[in-house]
Amino acid sequence: MHDRLDIISGIVDSQVTASCLLGLSEKGEVMEGVGKPETSAAEIHLAVYDARDDIKSVMHTHAPYLTALGALKDCTLRMIHQDSMRFYDNVAYDTEYDGFATTGEEGPRIASKLGDKIALILGNHGVLTVGQTVAVAFDHMYYMERVAMYQMLAMQTGGELQEIQPQVAARWSLMQEGLPFILPYAETHLRGFKNLYAKKSPEVLQ
């Protein structure tokens, strides 16, 4: 199995199953599976892999709360919850949206915006997370969307956000940064969702 995966172009997201995945080479050639890869997804993912030899998984979604946060002029992810702290000083922001990633230029631009961070909020677009494993990238994506939800709901009250002190957030962010700390939790988390789908929607895994 190739580690660069994309979905077949033209399939509705809710209908994607494991068999819809394509294994791509580092040049974007289909090496496993049958079909044409989704162009913009392939461009973004391949560019990030090319720029970051320290990661093995890239996840890109249009998760609702993070996408809504990215539509704000100030799209900063605030340290308002204990789950926010893993992202302290580890999120990049792209506020220079330049169109769909279909020209060969947008992917490298996005990769440069990500830099050495674990996540990138794409203004007017969505979000991207990376990790040393699929489980870690998934775990980042899951918790980042959750804390974005908490932030957006808190902002709706019109009250002032109560932010965690920077030194506290920095300390806990550093603790969670290492792979030995996060990997067991991330693998258990992903396995839990896999087991859930195996029971409720087994066709997803086919």
DSSP state of 19: G
What is the chain's mean pLDDT, rounded?
Answer: 90
Residue 27 falls inside a structural domain: no
Three-state secondary structure of 20-64: HEEEECCCCCEEECCCCECHHHHHHHHHHHHHCCCCCEEEEECCH
156 lies in which domain range?
54-205
- pLDDT reported for residue 2: 41
C-alpha 68/C-alpha 122 separation (Å) is: 10
Residue 93 falls inside a structural domain: yes
- pLDDT reported for residue 204: 83
Structurally, the chain folds into a number of domains equal to: 1
pLDDT category of residue 179 using cuts at 50, 70 and 90: low
Two tokens, residue 126: 């969505």
- pLDDT reported for residue 50: 94
Residue 39 falls inside a structural domain: no
Residue 43 falls inside a structural domain: no
Residue 13 falls inside a structural domain: no
- pLDDT reported for residue 14: 74
Residue 130 falls inside a structural domain: yes
C-alpha 206/C-alpha 190 separation (Å) is: 17
The CATH number assigned to the domain holding 189 equals 3.40.225.10
Instruction: Give the chain's radius of gyration (CA, Å).
Output: 17
Residue 36 falls inside a structural domain: no
Stronger pLDDT, 179 or 185, i.e. the higher one? 185
Residue 40 falls inside a structural domain: no
